[in-house]
Structure 1
């Protein structure tokens, strides 16, 4: 499925977290942070003067964001997609760690 986000919208595919290291199971994080990969980004943020400011994030970035009420969700073929704005991103994870 192909999405084309508008302006500062970002489409993220949720990365399912492993909750074990070797044979040791770890409890899941209770703070509602989601790790995901950016699969599409819009052209940029539309400013009041009509200019478009380029986004900091880019396709294939691995990010953390908080699942909250203003984030739209869509599930297709057992994949969770999230539609958010760049301002909803908490961090870009370097080296995909």
Structure 2
């Protein structure tokens, strides 16, 4: 893929949700909501202040992020459905936990 977002924009690939519920029911495509979680594919260089100074991006390619339900613009690049959004539309970065606490 040969696409680089400009300024403070981010190219995001949605992370697909499970097709089954915890109880084992299969969710049809028509009833699924689009996930609000994704993986950063590419980033711009960052926004610029009025003085011209570059504000570095807080995310980088490979980061798993959470974004608003209606964030971004859907685009298709090389047959993949992706989102282009501003960095300010990203709610947070999801960190992978090394070990999960056991329920008592």
Query: Fold match, TM over 0.5?
Result: yes
Partner of 2:3: 3
Q: Which residue of 2 aligns with 1:20?
A: 20
Give unpaired runs (5+ residues) of structure 1: none
Listed as ranges, the matches of 1:81-92 within 5 Å are 81-92=82-93
Contact 2:14 2:82 survives alignment (8 Å): yes
Instruction: Indicate the structure (1 or 2) with the bigger Cα radius of gyration.
Output: 2
Residue aligning to 2:42: 40
The size of the alignment, in residue pairs, is 93
CA, structure 1 residues 94+29, in 2 after alignment: closer, same or farther (shift >3 Å)? farther
RMSD: 2.6
What displacement does 1:22 show?
6.9
Kindly state the Cα deviation for residue 62 of structure 1 after the two structures are TM-superposed: 0.4
Which stretches in structure 2 are left out of the alignment for 5+ residues? 98-104
The runs of at least 4 consecutive aligned structure 1 residues that moved more than 6 Å come to: 26-30
